[in-house]
Structure 1
Amino acid sequence: MDLLLRGEWSSFVISTFMTIYFQMSLLYRERKRYNTTNYSGVKPINRKALSRIPLSKLMDLTVDYAFKQMFGSEKNKRITIVFLNAILQRTGRDTIKEVEFTSQEVGGEYKDDKQSRLDIVVRTQKGDLINMEVQLSNEHNMFKRTLYYWSRLYTSQLSKGMGYHTLLPTITINICHFTVFDKNTYYHNTFHLYEDSTMQRISDSDEVLEVHFIEMNKFLHMWSRNELNAFDDILVRWLLLLGMVDARKEKVYNQIYQELEELAMKDEILANAFSAWEQLSKSKEDVLAYESRLKYILDEEAKLEDVKYMAEKKGREEGREEGREKGILEEKEETVRKLLAKKMDVDFIAEVTGLTVERINEITSL
């Protein structure tokens, strides 16, 4: 009887072990199939963030046309809302839940290009106005330009007969591909109106003025030094999306793509952004408009570089000419001293050197 029981127990153990082994094998194959090792059990949204287009064909999202199509269109509104909340660090009750794209002529349209407006302007569910734009080239007018745009947007809220109490907060966001603040190493700077000594804001109830500057060159530098974490910081992953393609350098950061592709497996909005980016980069009409805009920007940058080069060249030539003239003058003054030492007549020295009698007398007194 005991042997029989021991035999049944052995069969039970073997059967149980085989069942567990079979289930573990299935689980391993499923995990390997979906490549979800980093996210224990989370089923991916896509095996590939981009499935039908090479990375080299993607638009540079810091080119204003592509940026506007990506973040300024009604079909991508959810992407825009998440991006704005990340930049403005809105959480809880302050979260932006809805935006309405507006058509104020605040910044005008592209010079020689009527395909798209420069700025993205949205109104939130609370009525706050947000102006967001990207700048590839440093035209050295960012501060005055920003305040001008902000003031135009702020005052655009008032119609005849409306009181000033109806004015709502206005926010400007500048995403720049160049250094704005030489003395500040951090990539995201935010400004408000403060009192100088107490640092009290001009308004406790509303943010009358809020200006953001995001410097992409500093951001990418910090990321390359492993100082930023895209897994914990939503803004970092969105800025990586903007910095992944650099059309001016004809460069794609594959490492950024690999990191974002992994994140997109559990970030649905980021995955949607990849899909929208892919569709935008495949549209023949949008590609034509984008390439036209990019060419214009590159041509303008080349012109600025030519002007800068010519100015520096002129400065060097003027410097050399000034140096030559100074050298000639010093030689003449040395000749004056030698002739004076020989007791030569001042008028004769003036005739020989071409210097005035007054200047010769000044040299004499030195």
Structure 2
Amino acid sequence: MEDRNEYTKRKQEINRSKLLKRIPLEQLMDLKVDYAFKQLFGNEKNKDITVVFLNAILQKTGRNQIKDISFMNTEFSGEYVDDKQSRLDLLVVTTADEKINVEIQFTNKYDMIKRSIYYWSKAYLSSQKKGMGYTELRPVISINILNFDLFSQTERFHTSYHLYEDEDQFKLTNVMEFHFIEMSKLIKDWKDDKLDPWNDALVRWLLLLGMVDSRNGKIYDDIYKELEEMALKDESLREAFHNWEGLSMEQEQRLVYESRLKQIMDEEAAQREAELRVQHAEQKAEQKAKEAEQKAEQKAEQKAKEAEQKTKETIAHRLLEKGLEIELVSDSTGLLKNKVIDIQRGMQK
């Protein structure tokens, strides 16, 4: 009886503390859209949850726990007029004087690795001041959260990278670190029941990002129910849900978000249309090439037949000159008897 009462009490506690009190799940912003992500995690008032989120990612590589962060200007100008402008999604500096750049990419633009290295280099050089020695340059950590698959070499949703010596595999430097998180692989692992969000803080936070799938118009209610129960004990997660709800309800924020989402979806549609046009053009070119090849083969085959026929006729001509019977010449060359007779008549003219 006591066990049953404890269960009932726990269910009542969960029901009393519904995370989303004013908004249905369908109205939550997709946090994989860069605007929504930056409004939640790049906001000074939400700094505490950003610290927890970053620590969950960086624990993989053994980095010291972040105690505090300050947000930096996310736009870097090029050194020269023609240089590209770089606008980062989220850039913070820790109390250990390490910079962390977080990029969230909704769409695969097929240049993610080079893009990440480029952004890393801008953040690394931005701290250099006149007269500063190279030893004073501080580490930069790049975190890339991707709404698509990037690496075919692994099924792991979180991979990290450094510079290592080729043979002995010792680390060259600690100033460069890259993290890539592939959300599609995370969701696959969730569906395959391979994740344990109760004992893995990173999984909890990433499931928060993956709960709303605006590209496919899908909401993962099972993820929400799991996170809702965990939020009873995880204050940072509970705060993230509260702030996420508030952000999704603000009319002005909502309009900007929907405008940004439409822009992304339009870009994806245009990219897909361009890919289909290229694919159609390639198929058309391939079909033309195939038809041309078939015509060439038919022409070559026809020429070969004509050459063979000419050879047979030449042989028949010689055999007739030697006085062989028409029937024997026909059998020897494979020519029809009437054809051999025509050749003989031509010889008599």
Partner of residue 103 from structure 2, selected from 126, 130, 133: 133
Match for residue 8 of structure 2 among 23, 32, 47: 32
The residue type equivalent to 2:50 in the other structure is T
Distance 2:211 2:124 in 1: 33
Could you report, residue by residue, the CA deviation over 1:29-61 in whole angstroms, capped at 9, with x for unpaired residues? x8735527xxxxxx7696201111000000000
Correspondence list, 1:110-259, <5 A: 118-203=88-173, 207-259=174-226
2:153 and 2:64 map into 1 onto residues whose CA distance is 32
Whole-angstrom distance in 2 between the partners of 1:148 and 1:340: 64
- Identify the match of residue 296 of structure 2 among 317, 329, 333: 329
- 1:79 aligned to 49, 56, 61, which one? 49
Give the structure-2-normalised TM-score: 0.82
How far the C-alpha of 1:133 sits from its partner, in A, is 1.4
Per-residue deviation, 1:118: 4.6
CA contact (8 A) 2:88 2:101 kept: no
| 1:49 maps onto 2:19 in alignment | yes
SS at match of 2:103: strand
1:65 to 26, 32, 35: 35
Q: Distance in 1 between matches of 2:63 and 2:126?
A: 27
- Counterpart in the other structure of 1:354: none
What are the within-5 Å matches in structure 2 for residues 285-324 of structure 1? 285-324=252-291
In 1: Cα distance, 2:164 partner to 2:77 partner? 27
- Which SS does the other structure have where 2:75 is aligned? coil
Distance of 1:107 and 1:198 partners within structure 2: 39
- Please say if residues 68 and 118 of structure 1, whose CA atoms lie closer than 8 Å, have aligned partners that are also in contact: no
- Count of residues paired in the alignment: 303
Q: Distance in 2 between matches of 1:154 and 1:131?
A: 10
The CA RMSD measured in Å over matched residues stands at 2.3
With over 3 angstroms needed to count, the CA separation of the structure-2 counterparts of 1:311 and 1:90, relative to structure 1, is: closer
The alpha carbon displacement at 1:343 in A equals 2.3
Query: For residues 317-351 of structure 1, what are the alpha-carbon distances to aligned partners after superposition, in whole Å with 9 as ceiling and x for unaligned?
Result: 1111111111111111111112212328xxxxxxx
Contact 1:45 1:271 in 2 (8 A): no
Question: Given the superposition, is the C-alpha separation of residues 124 and 211 from structure 1 closer, same or farther in structure 2, using an over 3 Å criterion?
Answer: same
Q: What one-letter code is carried by the residue in structure 2 that aligns with 1:232?
A: N
Q: Given residue 298 of structure 2, which amino acid in structure 1 is its aligned partner?
A: E
User: Which whole-Å CA distance do the structure 1 matches of 2:34 and 2:224 have between them?
Assistant: 21
Q: Contact conserved, 1:85 with 1:91, CA < 8 A, in 2?
A: no
Is 1:343 the counterpart of 2:313? The answer is: no
CA–CA separation in structure 2 for the residues paired with 1:255 and 1:302: 29
Structure 2: runs of 5 or more not aligned: 79-86, 312-349
Q: CA deviation at 1:226?
A: 1.0
- Largest Rg, 1 or 2: 2
Offset at 1:236? 0.5
Q: Name the CA shift for 1:228/1:31 in 2 (closer, same or farther; >3 Å).
A: closer
- In the alignment, the residues of structure 1 paired with residue 56 and residue 77 of structure 2 have an alpha-carbon distance, to the nearest angstrom, of 24
Q: Percent identity?
A: 47
The 1-side partners of 2:107 and 2:302 are apart by: 53
Tell me how far apart the structure 2 counterparts of residues 318 and 123 of structure 1 sit (CA, whole Å): 53
Unaligned runs of 5+ in 1: 1-20, 37-42, 109-116, 345-366
- Tell me if the contact between 1:130 and 1:173 (Cα under 8 Å) persists in the aligned partners: yes
Residues 241 and 107 of structure 1: is their aligned pair in 2 closer, same or farther, counting only changes over 3 Å?
Answer: farther
Contact 1:107 1:119 in 2 (8 A): no
Distance in 1, Cα, partners of 2:100 & 2:27: 31
Distance 1:161 1:253, change over 3 A: same
Q: Report the Cα offset of residue 93 of structure 1.
A: 8.9
